Structure 1
């Protein structure tokens, strides 16, 4: 749906507060399929988790390669694509060892190629400043009424809607 036709009915500083508001609307019979929780003023936060040296880069590459190749080895062992005598777990172990060896080298090379420009490990996440609870009532008002037009108007439906917070325009 187009974000421009949504009307903000409340704003909250935490996602949990916005979630409680939608739950409150649901508990009172509001058609929550019309509601959206929209994170506003989003910023990227990169939390530094520690130093990254050559050994850490090699270890991170080894872990990535080991996981991927262990999964492939396990699948090959289960499907008996290569040798029906060798079990899936043994192939997973071989894949893990091979993947660790092969993954460590690119991890080390990429880290060395950066020449100290990024000697730290980090985790990135998006963090909104506020959460708006909005509904698409404006879109519903713009649509022509269905049927012969003798049913309830959208104004009557709007007046029975519970409000969980102050309206924000």
Structure 2
């Protein structure tokens, strides 16, 4: 008798686990940036290595929040108007498709109402938090201290040998 998981268990199409699982494999390379790790895997692929056995793992994860600028009424209202205009455009297009009269008028009405509602919601939200917290705008990014390339044991030694050849190649000349 076989018992199945309510989540389906096993693997999803493409061989990926259905539920979050720790990575497996042996380390065959370690890199300071994701770009370097990606370049290493690209090199393995170009060398006709079984890259389906490879995983890039970010180690020592950090959430980095880069401050973009100070929030002002102008910036808040401008952002609210733009996001409202996009939503209004979408709503106006949908309305215009289903109403047989005045397609352009339906779209224009949607954009105008979207801008007004975007302005209203942005103003209310900003006025409620003004001066108390987050008087700046920022962008968050998840980064790692290093990126390890792991490989399943059956082909790890071959992967190490190929990456050692990559490390010996001279860096490309920048014009």
Alignment-derived partner of residue 50 in structure 1: 69
Q: Note if contact 1:9-1:163 (Cα within 8 Å) is conserved in structure 2.
A: no
Q: Note if contact 1:51-1:119 (Cα within 8 Å) is conserved in structure 2.
A: yes
Alignment-derived partner of residue 46 in structure 2: 27
Q: Which runs of 4+ in 1 moved over 6 A?
A: none
Structure number with greater Rg is: 1
Alignment match of 1:134 (pick from 147, 150, 160): 150
Deviation of residue 90 (structure 1)?
3.9
Q: Note if contact 2:93-2:107 (Cα within 8 Å) is conserved in structure 1.
A: yes
Report how many residues are paired: 144
Q: Give the structure, 1 or 2, with the largest relative contact order (CA under 8 Å, sep 6 or more).
A: 1
Alignment match of 1:100 (pick from 115, 119, 127): 115
Q: Could you tell me how far apart the structure 2 residues matched to 1:103 and 1:11 are?
A: 46
Map 1:15-164 → 2, pairs under 5 A: 15-77=34-96, 79=97, 81-82=98-99, 84-87=100-103, 89-116=104-131, 117-137=133-153, 154=154, 159-161=157-159, 162-164=161-163
TM (normalized to structure 1)? 0.74
TM (normalized to structure 2)? 0.72
Point out where structure 1 has 5 or more consecutive residues left out of the alignment. Answer: 138-153
Point out where structure 2 has 5 or more consecutive residues left out of the alignment. Answer: 1-16, 165-175
Q: C-alpha root-mean-square deviation of aligned residues, in Å?
A: 2.2
Report the 3-state secondary structure (helix = DSSP H, G, I; strand = E; otherwise coil) of the residue aligned with 2:49. Answer: coil
